[in-house]
Amino acid sequence: MEFIPYGRQWLDQDDEQAVLDTLRSDFLTQGPRIAAFEQALCDYTGARYCVAVASGTAALHLAVAALELPTDSEGITTPNTFTASSNSMAYCGIKPAFADIDPVSYNISPLEIEAKLTSATRLIIPVHFAGQPAEMEQISAIASRHDLKVIEDAAHAIGSCYRDGGKVGNCRYSDATIFSFHPVKTLTTGEGGAVMTNDEALYHKMLLLRTHGITKDTALLTQNPGPWYYEMHALGWHYRMTDLQAALGLSQLKKLDAFKRRRREIVTHYNQAFRDLPWLTPPAEANGLDSCFHLYVVKIDFAALGRTRAEVMQQLAAQGVGSQVHYIPVHTQPWYKQHFGYGEGDCPVAEAYYEMALSLPLFAALTERDQARVINAVRELA
């Protein structure tokens, strides 16, 4: 019996051919396909600028670093996310603070953001959890009132739309938006990520930091003895994407809308199949949003079911159905306890959500037969 993972990529012959063509070209990296992929992402989202990078984590780090915030600053993000969201602040000497989540969307709560503001707050990183956009209209208004920077962590949300119909990534509500292209995401470049922005100065700063802080731009050089010459103007990193990755991304981006439709069809199918289970709560999409679901996260009353989460995951796995937990609240991680004094009880809504959360298989290549297997395996838990 073939095992169904909670997420995986969908690659076809077009994707394979795009990578093969690049392998046969003059450039495996630092070539024309990177710029083409960046322009395609701008065209799709409506943002002015794009910086393609090696991973979603690199995108977050690059965006925070390029803001050049004081090292005694604080930033606010959600505990219901992967550690990279808050780690990107810590990398830059910024203290991460955690605002609790909304109990329905599982996204960061604007009211909780306001409650966490201090005189040191300079940055908000909302996360579009599972592909559902956070309340960016409210978050943007908070940022404007308090002169804060905003970076949207849209690692889950390429293809999603705000209530105004604009695509996540257009940066209407933020200084920058990041994407991740890991294989379990809606589209993949193998590994990879991107930062979108409408701020030209921020864009050029990120370009510099992406490549070791080194420039060959003659307009920026302090001297120019010859064509070999370059200068390091900042302490940057090797965060470049390769042409192989960009070629795959270009091919995948053409299928993004089809991937989105398929994911939403599966979510609808699951929701209908699970609506009568009293011990299971399907995900809810807020009114007016058009989410490209990255994850299908249910809440299970394990006590009512009479099984622990580990036992449920083991029973599903025995039926060939994978599952995962998204996420262990970041503020409860040992490193954050040790360095910032956070711990259990700091974000009670996120902690209560975590105790019940389970992600079931959701990806565009999931067949109707596999969906039926997932549904049957879940219903047989009772």
Residues 281-301: pLDDT tens digits?
Answer: 999 998 889 999 999 999 999
**Residue 43 is part of a domain; what is its CATH number?**
3.40.640.10
Q: Which of the listed residues 194, 225, 253 is the one where a domain comes to its end? A: 253
In a domain, 49, yes or no: yes
Mean pLDDT calculated for residue range 224-246:
97
Q: How many domains does the chain have?
A: 2
Residues 93 and 150 in one domain: yes
Among 185, 205, 260, 299, the one annotated catalytic: 185
Tell me if residue 195 falls in helix, strand or coil: strand
Query: Around Cβ 44, how many Cβ atoms within 10 Å?
Result: 19
Residues 136 and 282 in one domain: no
In a domain, 267, yes or no: yes
In this predicted structure, the answer to whether residue 1 has a pLDDT above a threshold of 90 is no
In this predicted structure, the answer to whether residue 32 has a pLDDT above a threshold of 90 is yes
Q: Which of the listed residues 222, 253, 284 is the one where a domain comes to its end? A: 253
Residues 6+ apart with CB under 8 A from 196: 41, 42, 45, 47, 49, 50, 169, 170, 171, 176, 177, 178, 179
pLDDT of residue 333: 98
Task: Put residue 147 in one of left, alpha, beta given phi > 0 → left and psi -120 to 50 → alpha.
Answer: left
In a domain, 2, yes or no: no
Q: Which of the listed residues 253, 275, 304 is the one where a domain comes to its end? A: 253
- Does residue 185 carry a catalytic annotation? yes
Residues 186 and 319 in one domain: no
**pLDDT tens for each residue of 210-232:** 999 999 999 999 999 999 999 99
Residues 200 and 264 in one domain: no
| Tokens of residue 321, six digits | 């159905």
User: From CA 32, how far away is CA 50, in angstroms rounded?
Assistant: 14
In a domain, 73, yes or no: yes
Q: Which domain holds residue 60?
A: 13-100+107-253
**pLDDT tens for each residue of 92-123:** 999 999 999 999 999 999 999 999 999 999 99
pLDDT bin (cut points 50, 70, 90) of residue 200 is very high
In a domain, 132, yes or no: yes
The model carries a pTM of 0.97
* Average pLDDT taken over every residue of the chain: 97
Residues 267 and 192 in one domain: no
Residues 354 and 207 in one domain: no
**pLDDT tens for each residue of 41-76:** 999 999 999 999 999 999 999 999 999 999 999 999
Residues 239 and 274 in one domain: no
Residues 35 and 140 in one domain: yes
List residues bridging with 52 in a β-sheet: 194
Residues 202 and 188 in one domain: yes
In a domain, 129, yes or no: yes
**Residue 339 is part of a domain; what is its CATH number?**
3.90.1150.10
Residues 330 and 214 in one domain: no
**pLDDT tens for each residue of 297-345:** 999 999 999 999 999 999 999 999 999 999 999 999 999 999 999 999 9
In a domain, 205, yes or no: yes
Residues 314 and 237 in one domain: no
Q: Within a 13 Å sphere around the CA of 283, how many CA atoms are in the beta-carbon half? A: 29
Residues 184 and 130 in one domain: yes
In a domain, 199, yes or no: yes
